Amino acid sequence: MTMPLTSYSVVKEHFKQVDPAILTVLETLTLADWFENRPSEDHFYNLTRNIIYQQLAGKAASTIFERFNNLLGGNITPQVVLKFEDQSFRDVGLSWAKAKYVKDLASKVADRTIDLSKLDNLSNEAIIAELTKVKGIGRWTAEMFLLFTLHRENIFSYGDLGLKNGFSKLYGITTPSNTQIKEIVDRWSPFESYGSIALWHFLDNR
């Protein structure tokens, strides 16, 4: 699964003009590497996955999600989720809170409080407003959904610690404020998502 809706060469030319430091990092990464472990285009599947992955290291999150998926017979849908008691999800490794969050997501999708089929046509902020109706989905989770599932190209999450740490290392600014970060990130528009990926990559490979 590759990202660019815009030609990657256009993206690189943009950063060459507005932020050569990000361009240097982009030249060292393969965008597909950031999407190959996200095998589904199904919005409910991905949101469920995002909830389970919250605040967990990748390997632990992957193990728990695999157990969850196996419990549901590989059929992660609202209807199937709602057939299970919270204890069943707890038994495969979800916290009590995440079990309730997954059930709340399933309930709100099933009763069409949230219509996932309409998300693709909404603005970023409208999507965030919709998704944060679900218990356990905050702005960060919604932003990750925008970037990795909908492939929106202009996403930077100010609440993401990894991005802040990557920014600090790349630009040599100790404990940067959101104002300092925004001053640079605003230059990236309309391709903030690529800058985000560059910062994560730089932090992981420094």
Residue 200 lies in a domain: yes
pLDDT at 67: 98
Residue 2 lies in a domain: no
Nearest-angstrom CA–CA distance, 153 and 17: 18
Residue 3 lies in a domain: no
| CATH classification at residue 13 | 1.10.1670
Judge if 55 and 141 occupy the same domain.
yes
Judge if 165 and 141 occupy the same domain.
no
Nearest-angstrom CA–CA distance, 32 and 29: 9
pLDDT at 142: 95
pLDDT at 31: 81
pLDDT at 1: 45
Residues of the chain with pLDDT under 70: 1-4, 35-40, 206
Judge if 188 and 121 occupy the same domain.
no
Q: Which of 91, 160, 186, 204 is flagged as catalytic?
A: 160
Pick from 21, 24, 16, 31: nearest CA to 194: 31
Residue 1 lies in a domain: no
Judge if 87 and 136 occupy the same domain.
yes
Judge if 173 and 138 occupy the same domain.
no
Q: pLDDT tens digits for 47-83?
A: 999 999 888 877 899 999 999 999 999 999 999 999 9
Supply the range of the domain harboring residue 120: 43-148
Judge if 95 and 50 occupy the same domain.
yes
Out of 129, 148, 167, a domain closes at: 148
Q: Is 160 a catalytic residue?
A: yes
Give me the residue label for tokens 């998502």. Answer: 193
Nearest-angstrom CA–CA distance, 17 and 186: 13
Out of 119, 148, 177, a domain closes at: 148
Judge if 113 and 144 occupy the same domain.
yes
pLDDT at 204: 83
pLDDT at 37: 59
pLDDT at 181: 97
